[in-house]
Structure 1
Amino acid sequence: MEKGVPIRSLARGIAVLQAVNRGGSLSMMEIARASSVPYPTACRIVQTLLFEGLIEQEPVRKRYRPTGLVQTLAHGFQGHAGIVQTARPHIVELTRRVMWPISLSTHVGSNMVIRDSTHSLTTLTFNDYYPGYSIPILECASGLVYLAHMPADEREGILASLKRLPDRIPIHTMRMIEEESLLDDVRQQGFATRGNNHFTRNPGKTSSIAVPIFEHGRVAGALTLAFFSSAIRMNEAVKQFAESLRNTGLAITTELGPSAAAAE
């Protein structure tokens, strides 16, 4: 097998497990849809995950949920404690002022993973999002802003890997990145937006704005402000919140390292 080419069956198995872990409780059809895996394949993968004890079927209902065994997949992971500790008071204060929840996420593989959030501190949210919740990097504002500010060679490596799994990527977003200078626009304006987010516990109900966080001159993560799609139009949300979000990101960047100026 060519070096660097992903094993399709393994990639699909991971996608199914991530979908169940994100959803908490999903039907088989919902699993197939959320993971972008064909229904017959998703059924076989679910049976394997049941056998391995990573998921279980709910009593009475034909729905599936993760078991405590999924936590073993995180053993050895050291996390981003320094970024979380630095960012926490800033995102709490920003939520106090704007009322909408803020999340801190970092890049892992082809996903952005939430490390901390303030969803539990406001009523303006549908769900809490705890550390470990992952979203495909091309499907979220935090992923776009992260891609825009990472080194070009690393970005090209990620995009090349994603293109090897065409059923797992949004073709329109990839085309905008390659042909329409989407990431150049994100760098120029200093933030990224995403309307009607699909990979949430309430698909389509929220939209978001994200800004980068830097550590010693390199992008280290992203801050995302989420709001109800039905409550505020994106252009109005940008007017109201983008500057405050950027200022919060800059304050965190300044505390993380003395080379913040290199990130500008």
Structure 2
Amino acid sequence: MERGVPIRSVSRAISTIQAINQMGSLSMMQISKLVGVPYPTACRIVQTLIHEGLIEQEPARKYYRATALVESLSQGFQGDSMVVEYARSHIRTLTEKNGWPVSVAVRVGTQMVVRDSTHAETSLTFERYYPGFRLPLMDCASGRVCLAHMSQHELDELMRWVGLVGMPEDRELTAYVSVNSLKKIREEGYAAIGWGQHNLNPGKTSTISVPIIQHGRFEAAVTLIYFATAMKQDEAIERYLSDLKKTAGQITADLLAEKESQILEQVN
């Protein structure tokens, strides 16, 4: 199939489903703002998605929410399920030890998508972050760890895609890659962001993220989230980086052991 500019109406419909899924429910005006389309366009998109059974209006107010049919869009997708499965017990252990929530995120296009987290298992959080929550690749610690472990070819392909179809905020990625040293992040094995802006409570939390590497390739990021006012970034790194790296190493070891087990089963 020839590569070219995507169909904008399809892209906007997908963005609408993602926005509603992430926030739980949205008004038409909120959809218009979040998706970046005029109000009349938002109305047509919503009407189409209602017709297809993917979203519905709430009974008591003019807010729109996803239906169970949305789950059908992921049927048959396995993807990084093994990473999530083997990470779950380890991130829970880390939260039990330090108190702070921990998440596992993977890259999807120019965003990092939360696949699992322990926000629901600790009181040290402002919000619960469910699987599917998205963060801009260049503006989150997990995204920067991901970028740092890309090959030059992968980076070049990502830049090409951003230039072709990226939103204005995505194009900031180019500036980040050219100005900041991804090599330093890769060598130190972590990325940290203070007073993060791209979450449900902008400016209230800070993060430290480390990679899960398998066979030399980035698989996912493990991120610890803490209250920005609780401690300075240097103190948080000193306290928690070692445990984060240990957790990522344990997940990697479990994944490799499972792969080896599968190979032995095939041989036998």
Give TM-score scaled by structure 2 length.
0.83
d(CA) in 2 for partners of 1:71 and 1:254? 31
**Partner residue in 1 for 2:89:** 89
**Partner residue in 2 for 1:118:** 118
Give the 3 Å change call, closer, same or farther, for CA 88–75 of structure 1 in structure 2: same
d(CA) in 2 for partners of 1:38 and 1:237? 43
Give CA deviations for 1:132-183 in whole Å, capped at 9, x if unaligned.
33334334322221122122222322232122234353444431212x1342
d(CA) in 1 for partners of 2:193 and 2:15? 21
**Partner residue in 2 for 1:78:** 78
**Partner residue in 2 for 1:261:** none
d(CA) in 1 for partners of 2:28 and 2:199? 17
Q: How far is the alpha carbon of 1:19 from its aligned partner?
A: 0.9
Give the 3 Å change call, closer, same or farther, for CA 236–164 of structure 1 in structure 2: farther
d(CA) in 2 for partners of 1:28 and 1:231? 37
d(CA) in 2 for partners of 1:236 and 1:59? 49
* 8 Å contact from structure 2 (residues 5, 165) kept in 1: no
**Partner residue in 2 for 1:187:** 186
d(CA) in 1 for partners of 2:234 and 2:20? 33
**Partner residue in 2 for 1:211:** 210
- Listed as ranges, the gaps of 5+ residues in structure 2 are 258-268
Of the two, which has the highest radius of gyration? 2
Q: CA RMSD in A?
A: 2.6
Give CA deviations for 1:16-57 in whole Å, capped at 9, x if unaligned.
211111000222333233334454433332232222221122
**Partner residue in 2 for 1:224:** 223
The alignment-based identity, stated in percent, is: 47
**Partner residue in 2 for 1:104:** 104
SS in 1 for 2:221: strand
Q: How far is the alpha carbon of 1:100 from its aligned partner?
A: 0.7
d(CA) in 1 for partners of 2:162 and 2:199? 20
How many residues end up aligned between the 2 structures? 257
Q: How far is the alpha carbon of 1:213 from its aligned partner?
A: 0.2
